[in-house]
Amino acid sequence: MQRIGIMLHQHKSERLETARRLIALIHAGGAQALLPAELAQTLGRGELGLEDELFRRQAQCVIVLGGDGALLSTARFLATVNVPILGVNMGYLGFMTEIEVGDLEFAVARLIRDEFTLEERMMLTAMARRNGQEQGGFLALNDVVITHRNFTRMVRLKAQVAGQTVGTYRADGLIVATPTGSTAYSLSAGGPILHPGLSAIVLTPICPHSLQARSLVIGPEEEVKVLVTAPSEVLLTVDGQIGCELGQGDEVMIRRAEHATRLIKLKGRSFYEILRTRLDDDYTTPHERG
């Protein structure tokens, strides 16, 4: 890798200083650092800045400084160009990130020498429709969530898979997750944990007012349709970050995306090791330990 992009989700002072250090490491290794134009201006390195589309085309890989939220937004940003991502944990959990800040020198050297493996993660695409007209389309690495705007109220939703009704829910909402997202909101709502290398889709109702409602794992090529069946102020949220409003009669069509997220792996840790440590109640990140 000779052209290495750098992205931040939030321009916090700690992350900006780490970005400056990362630029120096990349250049010292004989490679070129690339930055989105706004970040380049913030760092006073305008000569390294590129507009979004050019950044996507020029970067051979992207290092993301932040937590899982930063990685999720970067995954959507880069999905259409299949640029590999290396997550550097500067958050509090960092379940999807690969390394900590102390590993940067090691990581840059490995990237420049092309000494890494890639792991593909399936994504979802969601399309909202009102009266047959498309209202907006979204990509998700973790999940698509449909909830009431007021979290103290329930919604009424009907879910269909491949044209067949699989559940009519009076609940706080419904989560449609990828295997990657199975360890996020879906897990908190009682859903199953799936290995991220699997191809599948998980439907998990949120606090359903029913004794029968359970999570459902379906095939990756099956399309999910969710219909809002009662007057409500409903929100469609993608990866907990973006989305749109829904109303009675609106539909959301969710299916496997044609694009996937490619994560760079350097340490050879298994999913089960990460699961055991990061979801342990006593686990603390280096950031939390100071």
By annotation, the residues acting in catalysis are 68
Q: Quick check: 59 and 3 in contact, CB under 8 A?
A: yes
CA dist 138 and 125 (Å) reads 6
Residues ≥6 apart with Cβ < 8 Å to 207 = 171, 172, 189
Q: For residue 198, what are its two tokens?
A: 């699997």
Helix (H, G, I), strand (E, B) or coil at 35: strand
First to last CA, the chain: 32
Strand order from edge to edge, sheet including 234-238: 216-218, 201-206, 173-177, 143-148, 234-238, 242-246
The greatest distance separating any two alpha carbons of the chain, rounded to the nearest whole angstrom, comes to 61
**H or E segment to which residue 188 belongs:** helix 185-188
**H or E segment to which residue 164 belongs:** strand 164-171
CA dist 9 and 227 (Å) reads 33
Strand partners, 155: 171
CA dist 250 and 257 (Å) reads 21
